[in-house]
Amino acid sequence: MEPLTGKGKMKRETSIYFILFAILSLLGGIAFGILGAFQFVIPKFFELIPFVKCRPLHVSMVIAWIFLSATGGIYYYLPRYCNVKLFSNKLQKIHLWIFILTGIGVIISYLAGKFGGREYWEFPPVLAIPIIISWIIFGFNYFKTVFTKTEPWPVYLWMWGTGIFFFLFTYLESNLWNFSYFRDHLIRDITVQWKAGGSMVGSWNMLIYGTAIFLMDRIQQDNRIAKSRLAFIMYFLGLTNLIFNWAHHIYIVPNAIWVRYIAYGISMTELLILGKLIWNWKRDLTKSLQDFHLLSVRFIIASDVWIVLNLMLSILLSIPAINIFTHGTHLTVAHAMGSTIGINTMILIASCLFLIPDVTKVQFSKRQSLTISIGFWMMNIILLFFWVALILAGYHKGYMVVEDKLTFQEIMLKIRPYLMVVAITGTVIFAGVLMVFVPALKLIKAYLRST
């Protein structure tokens, strides 16, 4: 690594803080996930932070990783690579500060045992206020920036805008339970909660898939894909799914029956996305494989493989006849983990590995690249075992629940070996992530010293 001192001070990028806190949040989030996984199989394990606190710490910190890294990337890429000037740097800084202060608030509230008890967002509802404000600020800054662009937008600008817009609305929607009209009617409450939650995941996927398309476009210096008709058709199909497919999470909740049919029908359009991926795979992959030596590209290729695997799983889980067995089991967890680690995290790591050397103007040394490569293989190979163990745990539980012969405790005892594999492989995945990010953190540290 070449020293930066003596070259004169560079201006410090705000976006690097988004990335720095994103990485720290991911490391913390996985650590709590591992703790929780061991608590699952060994009761009374590490009682200082019990499961009821570990689980939300894990979920919130991992979600923070997704948002911080995606947002930091967007703030950085817009002015550098999208031919626009960021509307306001000041708003970007305010956004960062709100995020960090709210994040600290969330962590403190969990540790203190104060909850709001909603899935994904288990913190007290007052903390939703700064989050909503920060997204309004982000959206305002984003749209003020991109609407100055005169030439047609590539698809990723549409996707980022869509992600921000829909996140804001679905997040507001997820807070409707604060009104008794929603809260005191359990069926409505659960339906609206999972409508919001399902679409929200769709909205952050917009931010992330947009980032993946942006990166491939930049790295391969080819903007045809991002402007192609097919890219837009896929984008609109994704948006349709975001709006209408969420009810596959709640087939068994007794809301109106057509809610289920709409979700089932729309979910099946994902077959088109799957088909397109497989159809083009050979061509796209041959092209990307030429750049396999580039670290970012490598992570994107891995995410492509995980997209196909998870899409197959999620399409199966969306068929009511299969869902009736798999709902409420670790198969859902397999789907969630496969997507957040295999797809989202791989793409966002790719983005970090592109962005950090770009900001710091320092490339990874040969040794660092090797460490990152080993981390890459470790993460991906072990993730496969982790994922399959969850699928098997879910499959067995689903079958035993419907068969209705064993008690809850007996079923849990039977799937315990799988969950042990999950805890152990999870630990190895953590080691892989560390190998990827320790070199990256070193670059950031040197950069912060020199600016």
Interface of this chain with ligand HEC, residues 49 to 108, rule: CB under 6 A: 51-52
Q: Which does 152 bind (CB under 5 to 8 A by kind): ligand HEC, other proteins, none?
A: other proteins
In angstroms, give the least distance from the CB of 449 to other proteins. 41
Stretch that binds other proteins, among 94-102, 174-182, 215-223, 270-278 (CB under 8 A): 174-182
Q: Which does 122 bind (CB under 5 to 8 A by kind): other proteins, ligand HEC, none?
A: other proteins
Rounded CA gap, 392 and 417, in Å?
10
251 binds, among other proteins, ligand HEC, none (CB under 5 to 8 A by kind): other proteins
Residue from 21, 67, 171, 182 that binds other proteins (CB under 8 A)?
A: 182
Q: Does 409 bind ligand HEC (CB under 6 A)?
A: yes
Decide if residue 55 touches other proteins (CB under 8 A): yes
Nearer to ligand HEC by Cβ, of 221 and 407: the residue is 407
Distance, in Å, from the CA atom of 350 to the CA atom of 339, rounded to the nearest integer, reads 15
Of ligand HEC, other proteins, none, which one sits near residue 388, judging by CB under 5 to 8 A according to partner kind?
none
CA distances from 255 to 195, 200, 247 (A): 12, 20, 10
Which two three-digit tokens encode residue 4? 């930066």
Distances (CA, A) of 379 to 27, 197, 295, 328, 432: 14, 27, 14, 27, 5
Check residue 5 for interaction with ligand HEC (CB under 6 A). no
Q: Which of 137, 16, 157, 138 is nearest to 84 (CA)?
A: 157
Q: Can you tell me the distance from the alpha carbon of 312 to that of 302, in angstroms, rounded to the nearest whole number?
A: 16
- What gap in Å lies between CA 18 and CA 100, rounded to an integer? 9
Select 56 or 73, whichever has its Cβ closest to ligand HEC: 56
By CB under 8 A, is residue 261 in contact with other proteins? Answer: yes
Interactions with other proteins, residue window 284-323 (CB under 8 A): 319-323
177 near ligand HEC, rule: CB under 6 A:
no
**How many Cα atoms within 13 Å fall on the side-chain side of residue 139?**
15
Cβ-Cβ contacts under 8 Å for 64 (sequence gap 6 or more)? 21, 22, 25, 29, 99, 103
Q: Which does 9 bind (CB under 5 to 8 A by kind): other proteins, ligand HEC, none?
A: none
To the nearest 10 degrees (0 to 180), the angle between helices 408-450 and 346-360 is 10
Q: Per CB under 8 A, does 251 bind other proteins?
A: yes
Q: Which residue from 273, 401, 428, 431 is in contact with other proteins, where contact means CB under 8 A?
A: 401
Chain contacts with ligand HEC (rule: CB under 6 A): 51-52, 409
